[in-house]
């Protein structure tokens, strides 16, 4: 239907803010609203996660943005412009759409699937092809797969294509409805990380629906916790929601382990590490013992490092009985962390390694400090952790 | 047609619609038990040309007309759900009318000739094609439609770019069944005076001499198989995504 195709080629790229203004959805003449006077402001370029138990109206709330669900009252503005004033089909071509069931077209190749919206917009063939190739590369797919059909790809690859297809025409807003919900846990985590990395590059305004609070914490710049009846119980940053739940509902939904969940928001670099006395191969042990004896020592074991200050292992009491520091330490190094590791993973490494201390290395592999279980528990218990955000909204963007 | 066709009352179908061929002298008469007479076949193969062509035209036109009507009805029912039960019932009733009765019932209304045969034959294809198009459309994954709508396709674009391509296997499948059965039923078009291979089957002489029946039947069978093979090839080429396997 060429007559229905829009031929203008949008040049404005980037992202638009999304504002819900009392958006309400009632089905039929039911007095109970599925979404009740929702008012939210999602700044341009941020990921807003709508999270809540099933039946809370989060998907309905999301779908009102591209009018696949028509709202009953209120309005939604994209970049200050009401979605109500737009032709629905044209509006949707400017909004990326990713769903849990992926919904790739089985009869079209991967490249044709990605080119779907550019084709609707009437892009020229060369432009569409260039954009398709660019997206296939962006999602890390083998270019050869562009000619394959969806049935020939794995679930994870298919969902990557689903994301690429949604990004094809450089939309101002992305709607993602449980996009990784049907993927196995290992691939889900990989896809989440990939999307965050992608988002750091493209900076879209994203509405992300999930029922999984962990996913919400990981993905969201902001989280809207929704409760039954389509009401927002709390709209805040992940850190605020974890540290200061608005009410009992949010507290219950976030779970009793919210203190631990907070660790997912931090990196090792965000915390003050301890300093271990360093020992070099061939150094007289007397010097090491002197360091150990100093009053401001935080770790009671000397850490053996090479000439580049890369950690090798821990020295024991017996090692120190020799005259010089041996090249092979008595105790193995145990877990070696990176400054960019997420705190929750770091704690897991410590516990798994049954270690009290773990050396932390910088990007060059040089010793940056020592993390201990004690530091983490002190952090979790400190009043500072409850009031200050500790750079927690700076999500690991890898 | 070798001679005129006798038209008798509907009650005498068995005898009535039979060609006269009394003037002919038949070979192979020495052995009437012979099922197939090669000599006769070699001498008379020409007489099957025109009926075969008529048969082909009857089938091609009837299936085309039937497809156009059934396809339109299916698209109508696709948008208006309430139309589905009455349309299925209506096409079902047409399908249930015995074929010879159908031809005879139409004669007083539409007269003798090809149009009458085409009306009846098309009517028979409706049910099969209508049902297959409907099934094909309803088998399209809801997620593909949701995605199509969400990315900004209009309802018409969804139908032509997503739903119908994905329904192609069922649609062509319906065409195949309809075509093959129409080839068979079209041999009865002779009762509507529309010619076809039936002219070489329903002759009085054939009651005792089956060679002509076997040739006409054989041609009809080959025709059915050819139609089927062509449509199958079309289906293969139209649905390349169905030939791939997950790697």
Residue A101 C-alpha, separation from nearest chain B C-alpha, in angstroms: 6
CB contact under 8 Å between A93 and B151, yes or no, is yes
Using the predicted structure, report yes or no on whether residue B28 has a pLDDT greater than 70.
no
Using the predicted structure, report yes or no on whether residue B141 has a pLDDT greater than 90.
yes
Question: Which chain B residue has its CA at the smallest distance from A155's CA?
Answer: B246
Token pair for residue B124? 């028979």
| Interface list for chain A against chain B, based on CB atoms closer than 8 Å | 1, 4, 66, 68, 89-94, 97, 99, 101-108, 116-117, 120, 148-149, 151-152, 162, 165-166, 175
Strand partners, A38: A23
Give the whole-angstrom CA distance, residue B26 versus residue B130: 47
User: Which chain B residues contact residue A165 at CB under 8 A?
Assistant: 147, 151
Give the whole-angstrom CA distance, residue B130 versus residue B73: 7
Helices of type H across B2-141: 13-16, 38-44, 49-79, 84-96, 99-110, 114-138
For chain A, give percent helix, strand, coil, nearest 5: 40, 25, 40
Nearest to B143 among A94, A102, A175 (CB): A102
Evaluate whether A2-256 and A269-383 have a shared fold: no
Strand A205-210 and strand A47-51: pairing?
Answer: parallel
User: Which chain A residues contact residue B151 at CB under 8 A?
Assistant: 92-93, 97, 116-117, 120, 165-166
Which CATH entry fits the domain spanning A2-256: 3.40.1410.10, 3.90.700.10, 3.40.140.10, 3.40.50.300? Answer: 3.40.50.300
- The distance from CA A155 to its chain's CA centroid, rounded to whole angstroms, is 20
Nearby residues of B158 by Cβ (< 8 Å), 6 or more positions away: B145, B148, B149
- Domains of chain A, residue spans: 2-256, 269-383
Strand A357-361 and strand A367-372: pairing?
Answer: antiparallel
Q: What is the pLDDT at residue B24?
A: 52
Average model confidence (pLDDT) for chain A?
86
- Interface size, chain A vs chain B, as Cβ–Cβ contacts under 8 Å: 87
Q: What is the pLDDT at residue B32?
A: 55
Average pLDDT over residues A242-251: 89
CB contact under 8 Å between B146 and A165, yes or no, is no
Using the predicted structure, report yes or no on whether residue B190 has a pLDDT greater than 60.
yes
Residue A233 C-alpha, separation from nearest chain B C-alpha, in angstroms: 28
Mean pLDDT check: name the lowest of A132-136, A258-262, B22-26. Answer: B22-26
Q: How confident is the model at residue B206 (pLDDT cuts 50, 70, 90)?
A: low
Using the predicted structure, report yes or no on whether residue A353 has a pLDDT greater than 90.
no
Percent with pLDDT over 90 in chain B: 35
Percent with pLDDT over 90 in chain A: 47
Using the predicted structure, report yes or no on whether residue A347 has a pLDDT greater than 50.
yes
Residue A189 C-alpha, separation from nearest chain B C-alpha, in angstroms: 23
Token pair for residue B162? 């997503």
Cβ–Cβ < 8 Å for A75, A105:
no
Cβ–Cβ < 8 Å for A171, A120:
no
Residue A96 C-alpha, separation from nearest chain B C-alpha, in angstroms: 7
A269-383: what fold?
A: CBS-domain (3.10.580)
Question: Which chain A residue has its CA at the smallest distance from B238's CA?
Answer: A107
Report the largest interatomic distance among the alpha carbons of chain A, rounded to a whole angstrom. Answer: 89
Question: Which chain B residue has its CA at the smallest distance from A63's CA?
Answer: B150
Cβ–Cβ < 8 Å for A261, A236:
no
H or E element in which residue B221 lies: helix B211-238
Nearby residues of B187 by Cβ (< 8 Å), 6 or more positions away: B55, B196, B197, B198, B201, B216, B217, B220
**Alpha-carbon radius of gyration of chain A:** 26
Cβ–Cβ < 8 Å for A233, A60:
no
Q: Which of B119, B109, B107, B92 is nearest to B185 (CA)?
A: B119
Highest mean pLDDT among A39-43, A259-263, A285-289: A39-43
Q: How confident is the model at residue B61 (pLDDT cuts 50, 70, 90)?
A: very high
Count Cα neighbours of A174 within 13 Å in the Cβ-side half-sphere.
Answer: 32
Residue A319 C-alpha, separation from nearest chain B C-alpha, in angstroms: 57
Cβ–Cβ < 8 Å for B197, B55:
yes
Highest mean pLDDT among A13-22, A120-129, A183-192: A120-129
Using the predicted structure, report yes or no on whether residue B18 has a pLDDT greater than 50.
no
Average pLDDT over residues A321-329: 85
Q: Which of A218, A169, A223 is nearest to A195 (CA)?
A: A218
Using the predicted structure, report yes or no on whether residue B111 has a pLDDT greater than 80.
no
Walk me through the domains of chain B, giving residue ranges and CATH numbers: 46-239 (1.10.3720.10)
H or E element in which residue A36 lies: strand A33-42
Average pLDDT over residues A156-166: 93
Q: How confident is the model at residue B33 (pLDDT cuts 50, 70, 90)?
A: low
Q: What is the pLDDT at residue B1?
A: 33
Residue B155 C-alpha, separation from nearest chain A C-alpha, in angstroms: 9
Nearest to A97 among B151, B160, B247 (CB): B151
Q: What is the pLDDT at residue A393?
A: 42
Nearest to B244 among A1, A66, A151 (CB): A151
Q: Is A226 helix (H, G, I), strand (E, B) or coil?
A: strand
Cβ–Cβ < 8 Å for B149, B158:
yes
For an interface test with B, give the residue of A105, A119, A163 to mutate (most B CBs within 10 A): A105
* Residue B1 CB neighbours (<10 A): 14
User: Which chain A residues contact residue B247 at CB under 8 A?
Assistant: 148, 152
Percent with pLDDT over 70 in chain A: 92
Mean pLDDT check: name the lowest of B24-28, B123-127, B158-162, B217-221. Answer: B24-28
Give the whole-angstrom CA distance, residue A17 versus residue A12: 14
């Amino acid at each position: 239907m060429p007559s229905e195709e829009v031929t203008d080629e949008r040049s404005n790229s980037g992202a638009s803010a999304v504002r819900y203004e009392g958006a309400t959805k009632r089905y039929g003449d039911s007095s109970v609203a599925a979404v009740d006077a929702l008012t939210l402001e999602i700044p341009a370029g941020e990921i807003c996660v709508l999270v809540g138990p099933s039946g809370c109206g989060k998907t309905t709330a999301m779908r009102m943005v591209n009018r696949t669900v028509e709202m009953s009252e209120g309005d939604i503005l994209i970049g200050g412009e009401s979605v109500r004033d737009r032709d629905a089909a044209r509006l949707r071509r400017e909004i990326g759409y990713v769903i849990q069931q992926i919904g790739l077209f089985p009869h079209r190749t991967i490249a044709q699937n990605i080119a779907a919206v550019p084709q609707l917009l009437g892009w020229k063939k060369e432009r569409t092809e260039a954009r398709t190739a660019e997206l296939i590369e962006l999602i890390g797919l083998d270019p050869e797969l562009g000619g394959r059909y969806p049935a020939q790809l794995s679930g994870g690859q298919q969902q990557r294509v689903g994301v690429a297809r949604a990004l094809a025409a450089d939309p101002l807003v992305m709607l993602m409805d449980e996009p990784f919900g049907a993927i196995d846990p290992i691939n889900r985590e990989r896809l989440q990380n990939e999307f965050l990395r992608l988002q750091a590059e493209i900076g879209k305004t994203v509405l992300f629906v999930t029922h999984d609070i962990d996913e919400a914490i990981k993905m969201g710049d902001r989280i809207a916790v929704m409760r039954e009846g389509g009401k927002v119980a709390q709209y805040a940053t992940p850190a605020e929601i974890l540290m200061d739940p608005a009410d009992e509902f949010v507290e219950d939904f976030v779970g009793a382990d919210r203190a631990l969940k907070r660790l997912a928001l931090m990196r090792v670099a965000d915390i003050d590490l301890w300093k271990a006395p360093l020992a070099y191969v061939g150094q007289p042990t007397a010097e090491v013992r002197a360091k150990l004896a100093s009053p401001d020592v935080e770790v009671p074991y000397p850490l053996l490092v090479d000439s580049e200050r890369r950690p090798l292992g821990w020295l024991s009491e017996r090692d120190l009985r020799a005259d010089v520091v041996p090249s092979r330490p008595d105790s193995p190094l145990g877990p070696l962390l990176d400054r960019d590791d997420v705190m929750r993973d770091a704690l897991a490494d410590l516990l798994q390694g049954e270690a009290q201390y773990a050396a932390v290395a910088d990007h060059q592999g040089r010793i940056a400090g020592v993390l201990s279980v004690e530091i983490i528990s002190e952090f979790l218990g400190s009043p500072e952790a409850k009031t200050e955000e500790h750079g927690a909204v700076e999500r690991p963007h890898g | 047609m070798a001679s005129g066709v006798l038209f008798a009352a509907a009650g005498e179908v068995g005898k009535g619609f039979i060609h006269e061929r009394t003037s002919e002298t038949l070979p192979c008469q020495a052995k009437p038990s012979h099922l197939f007479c090669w000599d006769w076949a070699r001498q008379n193969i020409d007489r099957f040309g025109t009926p075969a062509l008529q048969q082909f035209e009857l089938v091609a036109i009837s299936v085309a007309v039937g497809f156009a009507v059934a396809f339109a009805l299916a698209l109508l029912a696709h948008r208006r759900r309430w139309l589905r039960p009455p349309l299925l019932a209506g096409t079902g009733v047409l399908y249930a009318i015995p074929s010879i009765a159908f031809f005879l019932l139409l004669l007083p209304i539409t007269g003798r000739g090809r149009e009458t045969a085409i009306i009846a034959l098309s009517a028979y294809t409706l049910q099969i094609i209508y049902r297959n198009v409907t099934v094909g459309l309803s088998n399209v994954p809801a997620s593909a439609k949701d995605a199509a709508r969400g990315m900004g396709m209009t309802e018409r674009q969804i139908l032509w770019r997503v739903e119908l391509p994905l329904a192609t296997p069922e649609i062509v499948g319906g065409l195949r069944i309809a075509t093959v059965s129409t080839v068979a039923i079209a041999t009865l078009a002779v009762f509507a005076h529309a010619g076809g291979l039936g002219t070489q089957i329903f002759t009085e002489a054939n009651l005792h001499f089956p060679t002509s029946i076997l040739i006409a039947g054989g041609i009809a069978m080959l025709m059915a198989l050819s139609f089927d093979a062509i449509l199958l090839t079309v289906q293969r080429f139209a649905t390349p995504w169905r030939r791939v396997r997950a790697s």
